[in-house]
Structure 1
Amino acid sequence: MAGAYKTPGVYIVEKNAFPNSVVEVATAVPAFIGYTKIADNKGTSLTNKPWRITSLTEFINYFGDAPEDRFDIAEKTDADLTSDFKSGGKEFVLKRENNKADTKRYYLYRCMQLFFQNGGSPCYIVSIGGYSGDGVQRKPMELGIDLLLKEQEPTMVVIPDAVALDEGDCIGLQQYSLKHCGFQMKNRFAILDVYDGFRERSDPTGDCVTKFRADLGTNFLNYSAAYYPWLNTSIVQTTDLDFSSFVSLENVKNLLLTEAGGDTAPQDIKDILAQVGKADRDPKEKTYLSDDELHKILFSVSPTYANMLLAIKNKLNLLPPAAAMAGVYTMVDNARGVWKAPANVSLASVISPAVNITHDEQEDLNVTTAGKSINAIRSFIGEGTLVWGARTLDGNSLDWRYINVRRTMIMLEESLRLATKAYVFEPNVSGTWVTISSMASNFLTGIWKRGGLAGASPEDAFSVHVGLGETMTAEDILEGILRVTILVALSRPAEFIEITFQQQMQKS
C-alpha cells in the first residue's frame, strides 16, 4: 500500500489468485467401544482412552486377543429349546461358565476380526475394561461414548458388546449412541445390532425385530442403520479350541468314557483319559502325553469330543453384524465413494445368515408403517451372503431414507465447515462472499465429477448462494452473521428396478 512506503524503490506485492481448497474429510473411521483383554501401550494404560489403530495386529499389541470362552455340559431338559450335540442316544447342551446365558459374552475381539476381514482399515478403539467377573455393564459403555465427544476423526459408532447386556440396557445404550451421533455431534453414524437377532421372528420368545422397533423410540433415526439377522461366521476354527474350552474336565472325561464303553472301555482309552487335566503328570513316564497330543488323539478317535468342539465353534462364530458392516462401509467408501450405497456386497468370513429370509419376509423389514427399516442380510444361491438393504432407520423420510444420502451429506457438511473456519472474523463483504462461494463451488464440482452428485451438469447438481439480499439482510451483517446456502442433488440408489414387458403384433 502506497501509504506505507517511505523510501523510493520497487516493491513486490503478492496476492492470492485462488480461494482456499476444501479437503474432503474421512468418511469411514469407525469407533468401537467394548471390553478388551488388556489396554496398554508400553506401560501406559489405554483404558478409557480412544486409541487409533490400523490393523488387527495393532489391536492385539495394544488390547490383547480373545477372551476365554468356557462351557460346561448338561443334559437337555424341557426348558432347552434345542440341543447342541448328541452322544449315546442322549441330547446335551453347552452352558456358559457360571451358567450364563449364551448371549452373555465379550464380542469385541471376534467382531474386530470380522471388521478387518470385510475391508476395515483405520479405526478407534475405546477399551472400557478387561475380561472380569463383573461381566458387561451399560454405564462404562456410555462413558466410552462420551469420550468420543473430544475426537474429531471418527465417523461411525459401533458397540458389539451392547447385545451382551440385558435387553432393556441394550436398547438404552443404543438410544444413547443415537443421541451422541444425531444430537451432540451431528457428524457420525451409528450401526446397530438387533438384540437376539440370531432368532427367527416366529421364535416362541417373541419377535426380536418388533421388540427392537417398539423400544428404540423415534429420535435421531436418520443417523443410524440396523441389520438383521446375525451371522454364522468362520472366524473361530476348530484348531483354536482344546480342553481349555471346558469348565469341568471331569464331565468331559465321564462322557467320553461312557462313549468308549464305561468300565469295559479299552485300557489305552482309560489311560489317555486319566491324563487329561492331571496336574502332576511326570514327563519322564513312558505313557506321558502332552496336552496337545491328548487333544489331537481324542479329536481323532472320539466323535463325541469332536462334536462338542464343533458345537462350541458354532456358538463362538455366531456374531452380530454391525462390525462386519463397518468394514463394508469402509471398503465401499474407499472403492467407490461414500455416495455409493453399501449394499449388494458379499460378506467375507461369513458362512450364512443365522436366519434365512425370503423375498416376502423382507417386505416388512424394508418397508413398514413405523418407518424403522431393518436392512436384511440374505443368502443367494451362487452368490453367497449379501447385504440386501441400504436404508436408515428413518425409512419413511424422503430426505434421509438412504444410508449413502445421510453419510454423503455428513461428509459435505463437515468438509465445508472445516474449510470455512479460515474465514471466521474476515470482513463480511462481497470479497469474502465471492471467495467462499468459489471455494464451495470448486469442491462440489469435484464431487460431481466423481459421481457423488446427480445431474448432467454442475448447474444441475448444486448451487451456492451467498450475499446481501440473497442469503443475508443488513441486520445479519450488523450482527456479524455470514449466511451461505448450498443446494445439492444427492444420488439415490436404484432400490427397485421395474422391467415392463408387453406383447406386440407380429411384423413379418
Structure 2
Amino acid sequence: MPEYLTPGVYVEETSFRSRSIEGVATSTFGMAGLTRYGPVPYFLTPPGWTTPLVMVPSPQLVTSFTEFERAFGSLGDVGASSLADRRNYLAYAARAFFANGGRRLYVSRVFPFANDANGVPTLASNFAQVPVGNPAIGAFRSRWPGEAANEFAIGISFQRSKNILVPGANGAPAVLKGVQPGAAVETFANAGAIPKGSGPVVPTSASVAIVGRAADDSLGIIDAGGNVVAPGAGAVTHLTVTVNVRWGSRRLDSYPGLELGSDHPRSIANVLQAVDPADDLSLVWFDTGSRPPATLAVGPFVDGLKTLAAVDWTFMTGATESTAVAPADIEGDASDPDDPKRAARGLGALAEQEDIAIVAVPDAVRFALTDQIDMTNALITHCEKPRAYRIGIVDPPKDSSISEVRSFRSQFDSEYAALYYPWMDIVDPTAKPDPGAPQPLIQLPPSGFAAGIYARSDIDRGVHKAPANEVVRGIVGFKQNVTFDRQSVLNPEGINALRFFEGRANRVWGARTMSSDPEWKYVNVRRLFLFLEHSIERSTQWAVFEPNNERLWASIRQSVEDFLVTVWRTGALMGTKPEEAFFVRCDRTTMTQNDLDNGRMICLIGVAPTYPAEFVIFRIGQWTADSQQS
C-alpha cells in the first residue's frame, strides 16, 4: 500500500482490465547436425596462452539461406572421410525449409573432436592458420574447426594518410592530430619524402612506430625503450591496414582501417578477436600469443604483414575434419552449471532455446538402421521433455520400401513426432551439367521440406490448420510413387504420405502423429495444445507468489477466457459460441484446502479443438423426378 504521510492530492494509476495472454510463435525450427563450418562449443589453449580459450556459442539463429551460408557454409560435403555418406543433409534441409516458407531457424552445429589417450579432446589440428612473420610473432587462425578453413585466404593491404604532424603553438613541439594511442605512424624527413602515386603502400618497418600517451597527457611516439617521446621535426603519416578474408567465390569479408597497436580499440587483435569480435560471424581471428592481446614488436609485425601484402592471397592451412559422427554426438548433452567448459551440445543446446516449436535431425539418415532408430528415439525424448513445447519431424530410412517404412514406424509411439514418406528428388544445385545431358538429381529426406510447410501453414492460416494438402516447393518429384491403395496401408499407421497429383503438383497428403492414442492422432491438434500451453504458461508468470485468493482466481479466469475467445474466433476451436468451445474453472471446486496450504493454485481448462476433414464423404443416391419432398 502507498503511504499517505503528508496532506495533499495524490494521483495514482490503476488498471481496470485483465492481463492479456500473448500467443507464442509456432513456426521456429531447430536442427542439430554436421555443417561445413560455423559456431560450435570448444576450448583450447593456443600457443603462448596461459589460460584456455573457451568458446560456448548458443545455437545460431538464421532467417534466410543466405544467412545460413554465411554462418555455416555451403552445400558441400561434411564429416570425416571415413563416413560412408558425406552429404550435407542439414544444409539441404535448411535450404528446403526457407524455400517452403520458413522464416526462423536455429542451428546447433555438431563437431566430434578426436580424443587423446587420456580422453582429452585434441583440437589444435582442427584449425587452420596463417603465421605473420618469420619466425611467427602472431597468426591468423580460423575461429571454428573443420577442414573448410583450408579454403580461407587472407589478403593484406596498407593505407597511408597525409601528414598529421602540425607545429605547436608559440614555439612548442609539434603535435599529432587525428590519432589516438595504439595507432601506427610512419615518420619521414619532410612532407616531400612521403611517397606519392596510386600504387600499393609499402611501409619501411624501421620508420614505423606506435602512438602513446605521455605523463603530461600529450601524444608521442613510443621509442625502442618504451618511452613516449615527442614526434620531432619532419612529417608523420597515419598507417592503417585492411584485412580481407575470402572464402572461395561466395564470400568476401573486408575489415578496413585496422590499427597495429593492441591498445587501440580498432587494432587487428581487438576487431578480429576470437570470443567477441565486431563481426559475430567472422571466419578468422588474430592471435597475438596471449589474452589480452600482447604488444607486438612493431618492426617485425610490419615486416610480417608486408610479406602477406606482397601476394594477392595467402591460403590458410593445417585444418583437419572431425572424427566420424555418432548418434550420441548429435544427441549431445545439457550444459554443466559447475563447469564452464561443459557447454550444451547437439539437441541439448536446442533445448535451451525456448522459442523453438519444430525440431529435426536430418543427419540421422546417414546412420545404419539401428543407429537411426536410436537417433529418432533421442529426438522424441527431446520433444517429450516437460516444458519443451515442440514436435519432432522424423525422416524414414533412405530407399525404404512400403514394408520397410512400416517396420521403421512400428518402433515408435509418440504424440510429439510425425513421420513423412518418401524421400524427395531435387536438381543437384552444386552440379554443372554438360549441355544436352540430363540434369543430375539427388535424394533428400523430407524433414526440411515438411518443417517449411509447417511454418507456411502457421503463417497463412494458423497452427490449428493441419499442415497437409500443401504443395511441396523446390522438388522434381518423390522417390517412390505413393498411390491411393498404398496410402490406405500407410495412413492408418501414422505415416504421412507425400504424393503427386496430376494437375495439382506434389503435395503433403497426411497430418498424423506417430501416436497410438486417438486423442492425439493429428499433428495440428497436438501443436494447437502445445501453442495454448506454452502461451498460457509464459504469460501468466506474473501470478507466481501473488496472494492465492478469489481475486487472483478471477484474474486468471478472465485472462485465460479472453485469450481462448481470441483463439476461438480464428476457427481453431469448435462451437458456435465460446461456451461450446471451452471452459475455464479456477475456484474452490478445483482446489482443496490442502492445495491452498501447499501454495498450489489450480486452473482447469477444457477446449474443443477442430479436427481436420481427413475423409470428405458425399453420399449420392437415385431420386425420381416425380417424388415429393416434405
Same fold by TM-score, threshold 0.5 exceeded? yes
- Give the structure with the larger strand fraction: 2
Aligned residues, how many? Answer: 396
Which residue among 237, 241, 248 is the counterpart of 2:431? Answer: 241
2:464 to 339, 351, 359: 339
> 1:15 is matched by which residue type in structure 2?
T
Correspondences of 1:72-471 after superposition (within 5 Å): 101=84, 103=85, 105-129=87-111, 130=146, 132=321, 134-143=323-332, 144-196=346-398, 198-201=399-402, 207-214=403-410, 216-218=411-413, 221-234=414-427, 236-237=428-429, 240-241=430-431, 299-300=434-435, 306=437, 310=439, 313-314=440-441, 317-368=442-493, 373-394=494-515, 396-468=516-588, 470-471=589-590
The 5-angstrom pairing of residues 481-500 of structure 1 reads: 481-500=600-619
Secondary structure of 1:119's partner?
coil
- Distance apart, 1:183 and its partner CA: 2.8
Judge conservation of contact 1:194–1:208 (CA < 8 Å) in 2: no
Question: How much does 1:351 deviate?
Answer: 1.3
Flag structure 2 segments of 5+ consecutive residues without an equivalent. Answer: 41-52, 112-145, 148-320, 333-345
Give per-residue Cα distances to partners, 1:102-124, cap 9 Å, x unaligned: x5533111221111111111110
Where 2:106 maps in the other structure, the secondary structure is strand
State the 1:31 CA deviation. Answer: 0.4
CA shift, 1:397, in A, is 2.1
Report how far residue 366 of structure 1 moved: 0.7
Matched residues in 2 for 1:346 and 1:337: separation? 17
TM superposition shift of 1:211: 2.6
CA contact (8 A) 2:77 2:87 kept: no
Task: List per-residue Cα deviations over 1:60-113 (Å, max 9, x = no partner).
Answer: 11111012489xxxxxxxxxxxxxxxxxxxxxxxxx987x75x55331112211
- Structure 1: which amino acid aligns with 2:480? V
3-state SS of 2:568 partner = helix
Match of 1:257 in 2: none
Tell me how far 1:34 sits from its aligned partner.
Answer: 1.2
* Distance in 2 (alpha carbons) for counterparts of 1:29 and 1:174: 20
Structure 2 CA distance for aligned equivalents of residues 473 and 426 of structure 1? 18
Decide whether the 8 Å contact of 1:48 with 1:128 is kept in 2: no
Amino acid in structure 2 at the alignment position of 1:386: R
Deviations 1:274-312 (A, max 9, x none): xxxxxxxxxxxxxxxxxxxxxx9xx35xx8xx46xx4xx
Conserved? CA contact 1:48–1:127, under 8 Å: no
What CA distance in whole angstroms lies between the structure 2 residues aligned with 1:46 and 1:57? Answer: 24
Contact 1:199–1:354 (Cα < 8 Å) also in 2:
no
2:201 aligned partner = none
Cross-structure match for 1:22: 21
1:39, 1:45 within 8 Å by CA — same for their partners in 2? no
What's the offset of the Cα at 1:398? 2.5
Q: CA deviation at 1:344?
A: 0.3
Question: Does the CA contact (< 8 Å) of 2:21 and 2:559 recur in 1?
Answer: yes
- Provide the TM-score with structure 2 as the length reference: 0.60
Q: Distance in 1 between matches of 2:517 and 2:574?
A: 19
Q: Shift in Å at residue 45 of structure 1?
A: 9.5
Whole-Å separation in 2 of the counterparts to 1:365 and 1:321: 16
* CA–CA separation in structure 1 for the residues paired with 2:506 and 2:55: 36
TM-score by length of 1: 0.73
Matches of 2:10 and 2:474, distance apart in 1: 67
Superposition deviation, residue 184 in structure 1: 4.3
Runs in 1 of length 4+ with deviation above 6 angstroms?
44-48
Shift of 1:37: 1.0
Quote how far apart the aligned CAs of 1:213 are: 2.2
Which residue identity lines up with residue 63 of structure 1 in the other structure? F
- Is the 2:21–2:535 Cα contact (8 Å) retained in structure 1? yes
Quote the Cα distance in structure 1 between the aligned partners of 2:37 and 2:104.
Answer: 20
How big is the shift at 1:466? 0.3
Asked if the contact 1:366/1:389 (under 8 Å) is kept, the reply is yes
Could you tell me which amino acid in structure 2 is paired with residue 210 of structure 1?
A: R
Name the aligned partner's letter for residue 470 of structure 2.
Answer: V
Q: How far apart are the structure 1 equivalents of 2:92 and 2:424?
A: 12
Does the residue aligned with 1:222 lie in a helix, a strand or coil? Answer: coil
Read off the aligned partner of 1:226 and give its amino acid letter. Answer: L
Identity, % of aligned positions: 34
8 Å contact 2:38–2:71 — kept in the other structure? Answer: yes
Paired AA for residue 208 in structure 1: E
CA shift, 1:506, in A, is 2.2
CA-CA distance at 1:456 after TM superposition: 0.3
For the Cα contact (< 8 Å) 1:106–1:136, is it kept in 2?
Answer: no
Code of the aligned partner of 1:105: R
Q: 1:504: which partner in 2?
A: 623
The 3-state SS of whatever aligns with 1:367 is: helix
User: Secondary structure of the equivalent of 2:101?
Assistant: coil
Cα RMSD (Å) of the superposition? Answer: 2.5
Which SS does the other structure have where 1:52 is aligned?
strand
Contact in 2 for aligned 1:104/1:165 (Cα 8 Å): no
- Distance (whole Å) between structure 2 residues aligned to residue 222 and residue 492 of structure 1: 15
**Larger helix percent:** 1
Instruction: Answer yes or no: is the 8 Å Cα contact 2:567–2:573 preserved in 1.
Output: yes
